[in-house]
């Protein structure tokens, strides 16, 4: 009787070769394989980027909900008034200018996480401002009442700021502060000569002649009980025009072309992307996302070189 080794001796399996005799891929086969991998990557990467962008939009919406809660809760504790502390005459009256108490007040009412002050879609803004805090304060951006207030102190006057410029632009040690993610649209007093309240649809902020530097049929809110609370936002994504874009005629002509790149929710979350949408928190507490077609200029401050959009 033959043993097993003798039984299988001479039998060959087609297509099977010993490891040391394995055939290498040909150049053509390698090119085909690389092409398939590249095709798959080209198909999957945009889908992954789109998913990331949607996630960032969802986080921005959550931020705006948190802001809505903070501002309406503040109002319930202050005779219905939203946070509308007066601004000094040194303020230019831009929509992104707030009194120095605004930051500390909002931190006490739920906006006490620095990331709530930055839109997740515009991730480079938080990253850049975190670098400013790291360089100049020696720690990461982790406090609202100290770090966020430091970033937006007008003319870098921290710790005794005149007011806070959420639009950024200040220079600390050669690094420029990026804009915050959001700005309030609360009608608030300003001590500039001849101007009682801003933003306002009225000249000098009081009832009477209409202000040509306005683009809304309704007056901005002061109180949660004001008319049109469901139609007027109290906070939006911050959106700033290009320098020199402040004439209503120019703004009406250019529309969104007057906006600087990377504003609101830019395409792909890119710093150079064109705006796709923005979020708005309203006086009655609800939040909406508006597509680019619904966004328009709203208020160029008197004598200012920039215009605010939502």
- Average pLDDT for residues 281-305, to the nearest whole number? 93
Q: What percentage of the chain's residues is helix, strand, coil (to nearest 5)?
A: 40, 15, 45
State yes or no: pLDDT of 11 exceeds 60: no
Residues whose CB is less than 8 angstroms from the CB of residue 274 and which lie 6 or more positions away in sequence, other chains included: 256, 261, 266, 267, 292
Reported confidence tier of residue 45, pLDDT bands at 50, 70, 90: low
Across the chain, mean pLDDT equals 89
- What is the sign, positive or negative, of the torsion defined by CA atoms of 87, 90, 92, 94? negative
The encoded tokens of residue 294 equal: 């619904």
What pLDDT does 49 receive?
Answer: 59
Q: Between residues 193 and 290, which one has the greater pLDDT?
A: 290
* Predicted pLDDT at 192: 77
More confident residue, 310 or 34: 310
259, 164, 85, 186 alpha-carbon torsion, rounded to 10°? 10
What is the mean pLDDT of the segment spanning 278-303? Answer: 94
Q: What is the pLDDT of residues 197-214, one digit of tens each?
A: 999 999 989 999 999 999
CA proximity to 264, closest of 288, 291, 244: 291
Reply yes or no on whether the pLDDT at 17 is more than 90. no
- Say if residue 285's pLDDT is above 60: yes
pLDDT at 39: 79
Residues of the chain above pLDDT 70, percent:
90
Which pLDDT band, with edges at 50, 70 and 90, does 13 fall under? very low
Which is more confidently placed, 304 or 250?
250
pLDDT at 8: 46
Better-scored residue on pLDDT, 296 or 193: 296
**Residues 86-103: tens digit of each pLDDT:** 999 888 889 999 999 999
What pLDDT does residue 33 have?
A: 79
| Helix ranges, 77-197 (H) | 100-108, 123-137, 149-152
List Cα–Cα distances, 170 to 30, 69, 140, in angstroms: 54, 30, 18
Model pLDDT for residues 120-156, shown as the tens digit of each residue: 999 999 999 999 999 999 999 999 999 999 999 999 8
- Predicted model pTM: 0.83
> What residue spans define the domains of the chain?
44-309
pLDDT for the residue 262 = 95
Task: Provide the pLDDT for residue 24.
Answer: 73
pLDDT at residue 40 tops 50: yes
Per DSSP, the three-state class of 257 is helix
Per-residue confidence at 15, pLDDT binned at 50, 70, 90?
low
pLDDT at residue 303 is higher than 80: no
């Amino acid at each position: 009787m033959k043993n097993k080794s003798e039984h299988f001796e001479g039998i060959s399996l087609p297509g099977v070769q010993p490891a040391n005799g394995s055939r290498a891929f040909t150049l053509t086969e390698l090119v085909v394989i690389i092409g398939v991998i590249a095709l798959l990557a080209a198909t999957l990467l945009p889908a992954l980027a789109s998913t990331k962008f949607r996630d960032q939009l969802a986080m921005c919406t959550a931020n705006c909900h948190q802001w809505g809660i903070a501002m309406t809760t503040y109002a319930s504790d202050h005779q219905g008034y939203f946070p509308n502390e007066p601004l000094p005459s040194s303020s230019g009256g831009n929509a992104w200018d707030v009194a120095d108490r605004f930051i500390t007040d909002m931190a006490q009412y739920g906006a006490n996480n620095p990331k709530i002050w930055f839109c997740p879609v515009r991730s480079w803004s938080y990253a850049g401002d975190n670098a400013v805090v790291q360089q100049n304060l020696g720690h990461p951006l982790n406090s609202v009442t100290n770090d966020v207030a430091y970033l937006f102190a007008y003319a870098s006057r921290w710790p005794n700021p005149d007011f806070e410029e959420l639009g950024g632009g200040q220079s600390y040690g050669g690094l420029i502060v990026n804009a915050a993610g959001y700005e309030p649209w609360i009608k608030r007093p300003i001590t500039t000569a001849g101007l009682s309240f801003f933003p306002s649809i009225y000249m000098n902020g009081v009832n009477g002649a209409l202000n040509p530097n306005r683009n809304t049929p309704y007056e901005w809110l002061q109180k949660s009980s004001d008319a049109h609370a469901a139609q007027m936002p109290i906070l939006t994504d911050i959106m700033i025009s290009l320098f020199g874009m402040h004439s209503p005629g120019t703004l009406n002509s250019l529309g969104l072309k007057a906006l600087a790149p990377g504003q609101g929710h830019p395409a792909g979350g890119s710093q150079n992307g064109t705006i796709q949408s923005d979020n708005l928190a309203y006086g009655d507490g609800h939040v909406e996302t508006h597509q680019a077609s619904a966004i328009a200029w709203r208020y160029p401050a008197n004598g200012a070189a920039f215009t605010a959009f939502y």
